[in-house]
């Protein structure tokens, strides 16, 4: 007896014939219907997965883009906060300077030290260490 393997996964002997009756016909029909249903189910599942992927992939990309944009905005916020802190310190220094410049005694002292202005009857002597510190300031 020689057996061969066919595509419908059944083993047939070459010298054996199948019985053609109502039961075998019904069973073959049931098997064929089950295979058709399985094919349709697989097609539906593939279609659903494909549609799901077509919907979810762009949404996922948008989420990734939004997360990236949020991180960029967070870094910009941190930079702006640091700059604000620096500018607040500079503003405070400038306010102190403005307060000093409104004091007449400070202005007179500043004019004497930088521009060698003097009160009447005063004599100004320029020392070498005064010139070196002034050069360093400039």
Domain boundaries, the chain: 9-117
Q: What is the mean pLDDT of the chain?
A: 85
Residue with tokens 């916020």: 77
CB 13 within 8 A of CB 3: yes
pLDDT single digits (tens) 69-97: 999 999 999 999 999 999 999 999 999 99
Report the range of poorest mean pLDDT among 58-67, 68-77, 114-123.
Answer: 114-123
Mean pLDDT of all residues in 1-5:
50
Helix (H, G, I), strand (E, B) or coil at 79: helix
* Per-residue confidence band for 19, with pLDDT thresholds at 50, 70 and 90: confident
Q: Is the pLDDT of residue 1 over 50?
A: no
CA distance 73 to 9: 62
Helix (H, G, I), strand (E, B) or coil at 4: strand
CB 37 within 8 A of CB 26: no
Does residue 123 or residue 101 have the better pLDDT? 101
Overall residue count recorded for the chain in this entry: 138
Burial of 12 per CB tally in 10 Å (0-12, 13-18, 19+): middle
Handedness of CA 121, 126, 130, 131 (dihedral sign): positive
């Amino acid at each position: 007896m020689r057996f061969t393997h066919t595509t419908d996964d059944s083993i047939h002997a070459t010298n054996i014939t199948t019985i053609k009756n109502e039961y075998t016909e019904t069973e073959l029909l049931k098997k064929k219907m089950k295979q058709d249903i399985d094919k349709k189910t697989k097609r539906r599942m593939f279609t659903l997965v494909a549609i799901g992927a077509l919907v979810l992939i762009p949404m996922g990309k948008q989420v990734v883009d939004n997360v990236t944009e949020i991180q960029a905005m967070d870094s910009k916020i941190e930079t702006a906060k640091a700059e604000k802190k620096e500018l607040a310190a500079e503003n405070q220094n400038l306010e102190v300077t403005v307060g000093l410049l409104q004091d007449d005694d400070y202005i007179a002292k500043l004019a004497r030290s930088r521009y060698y202005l003097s009160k009447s009857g005063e004599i100004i002597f320029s020392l070498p260490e005064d010139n070196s510190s002034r050069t360093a300031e400039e």
